[in-house]
DNA sequence: GCAAATTAATGATTTATTCAAG
DNA sequence: CTTGAATAAATCATTAATTTGC
């Protein structure tokens, strides 16, 4: 029933574990090069394509956020309920200073949580990686585009290449092996994503965080 | 000041005219192959990349919808205002049949328009096109992915290829030169997008619609 | 007329929502 | 119900119109 091609990728346990490891390590929106490297690496454990890696991170990030939001709104509701219950039970016993103070503190706590929901405290920027060769410049008329750009700062002509990333296309600076400057430039470093053999992965993270 | 590389593409007049022509002809979400063909065609009039075409359609469609929505809400507001004014001036003169009829017709007109906003009456499905060769199957490990899928219906193994389209990646059925069935399958026909020489474009639409 | 300063369009990204397979 | 895949909405950022003062 599923000999060669299932219409939809489903990650093997090892693939999932590695992906989650990478996610935990801070990677959220891998670049094209990263995706390629991850894909290559994970294809050792089973069929996988670049788009699968791409979508996995996309969804995982989104659903993390979603989970957080729900948690917070639930907390908020609980808090509000508790407040109401307090008010109900005590039923305006005196309308004294204490009453108002309590109320205010409650609201304050709420708005704090809200703002936390918006700018997520997602660790440090992702640790990036670029291999020596980068994406091999394949046939000219392929679906990836290449072009040259004159950099007024360095007064040099850099060749750019379109690669998929972050929905749609993203630029890959071919010369520097670096994410293009047209995106908000994040600190891009040359780290190795897989410095060890992957056996180290199966250390203790047997239960993926629910 | 803008010799080779501007960080952002800005379409030439001809390019714009052709794009709008295509849009008017019904194309909304061109497939990878379409984008490639359009890009090739438009590159005759100036620098252009596949992603530009892709984004252009994305944005144009979205902003069309937006425009429509605003128009309709404005209409709605006007109608409601008029109704209120009517009620103020006439001030329940008789509460007769006519009054209610009027009111009802107003609301009816609105809700009809609303539903129109949702499932857009965008003409017929886009007239598609696929050239003979399609995307040449370039180097194996490039940023586009290829794989095989077993089709239970035809009992054949089809090769698929990832191409960019509709945000992120989309499948291109290499064997059939046809958009993948994983997307909502629209009637795909083999029509020529540019049957005539492009000189026919500059007929009368000298002023792009503001 | 013509540049500096604002504003409006619109190209490019990111985030949220939806669909559908398992 | 989970989650891979796809689409739509919202947002950011740069360019082009335009206004304004000279």
B70-83 pLDDT per residue, tens: 888 877 778 888 87
Q: Where are the domains of chain A?
A: 13-87
The reply to whether the CB atom of residue B183 sits less than 7 A from any atom in nucleic acid chain D is: yes
> Which pLDDT belongs to residue A70?
72
- Out of B51, B135, B168, whose CB is closest to A142? B135
Of A54-58, A137-141, A197-201, B168-172, the poorest mean pLDDT is in A137-141
| In contact, B171 and B161? CB cutoff 8 Å | yes
> Which pLDDT belongs to residue B7?
83
> Which pLDDT belongs to residue B12?
93
Contacts B139 to A, Cβ<8 Å:
136, 138-139
Of A3-17, A55-69, B81-95, B139-153, the poorest mean pLDDT is in B139-153
The reply to whether the CB atom of residue A31 sits less than 7 A from any atom in nucleic acid chain C is: no
> Which pLDDT belongs to residue A160?
37
Residues forming a β-bridge with A90: none
> Which pLDDT belongs to residue A51?
87
What percent of chain A shows pLDDT beyond 70? 33
> Which pLDDT belongs to residue A183?
28
| In contact, B37 and B131? CB cutoff 8 Å | yes
Tell me the residue ranges of DSSP E strands in B30-186: 146-151, 156-164, 169-173, 178-179
pLDDT(B5) > 50: yes
C-alpha to C-alpha distance for B126 and B43, rounded to whole angstroms: 22
b/e code B119-144 from CB counts within 10 Å (16+ = b): eeeeeeebbbbbeeebbeebeeebbb
DSSP 3-state of B162:
strand
> Which pLDDT belongs to residue B53?
93
pLDDT(B171) > 90: no
b/e code A159-178 from CB counts within 10 Å (16+ = b): ebbbbbbbebbbbbbbbebb
Protein residue minimizing CA–C1' distance to D9: B62
Q: How confident is the model at residue A95 (pLDDT cuts 50, 70, 90)?
A: very low
> Which pLDDT belongs to residue B61?
94
> Which pLDDT belongs to residue A81?
67
pLDDT(B90) > 80: no
Q: How confident is the model at residue B11 (pLDDT cuts 50, 70, 90)?
A: very high
pLDDT(A208) > 70: no
CB within 7 A of strand D (chain A, 6-35): 8-11, 16
pTM (two decimals) = 0.47
3-state secondary structure A21-57: HHHHCCCCCCCHHHHHHHHHHHHHHCCCCHHHHHHHH
In whole angstroms, D19 C1' to B166 CA is: 39
pLDDT(B117) > 80: no
What percent of chain B shows pLDDT beyond 90? 24
Average pLDDT over residues A83-87: 58
**Candidate CATH numbers 3.90.1170, 3.30.43, 1.10.3470, 1.10.10; the one for domain B13-87:** 1.10.10
Q: How confident is the model at residue B86 (pLDDT cuts 50, 70, 90)?
A: low
Instruction: Give the residue on B whose Cα is nearest the Cα of A55.
Output: B168
Query: Per mean pLDDT, which of A19-33, A137-151, B168-182, B194-208 is the most reliable?
Result: A19-33
Q: How confident is the model at residue A193 (pLDDT cuts 50, 70, 90)?
A: low
B145 Cβ partners below 8 Å, 6+ apart? A49, A50, A51, B161, B162, B169
């Amino acid at each position: 029933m599923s000999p060669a091609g299932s219409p939809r990728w489903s990650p093997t346990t090892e693939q999932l574990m590695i992906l989650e490891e990478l996610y935990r390590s801070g990677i959220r929106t891998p670049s094209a090069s990263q995706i390629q490297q991850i894909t290559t690496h994970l294809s050792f454990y089973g069929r996988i394509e670049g788009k699968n890696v791409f979508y996995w991170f996309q969804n995982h990030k989104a659903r993390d956020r979603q989970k957080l939001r729900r948690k917070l709104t639930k907390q908020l509701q609980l808090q509000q309920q508790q407040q109401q219950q307090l008010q109900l039970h005590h039923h305006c016993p005196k309308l004294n200073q204490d009453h108002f103070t309590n109320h205010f503190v409650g609201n304050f706590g709420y708005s704090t949580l809200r703002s936390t929901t918006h700018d997520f405290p997602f660790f440090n920027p992702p640790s990036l990686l670029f291999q020596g060769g980068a994406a091999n410049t394949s046939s000219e008329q392929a679906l990836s585009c290449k072009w040259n750009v004159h950099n007024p700062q360095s007064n040099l002509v850099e060749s750019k290449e379109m690669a998929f990333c972050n929905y749609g296309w993203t630029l890959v600076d071919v010369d520097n092996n670096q994410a293009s400057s047209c995106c908000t430039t994040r600190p891009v470093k040359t780290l190795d994503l897989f410095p060890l053999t992957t056996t180290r992965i199966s250390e203790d993270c047997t239960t993926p965080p629910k």
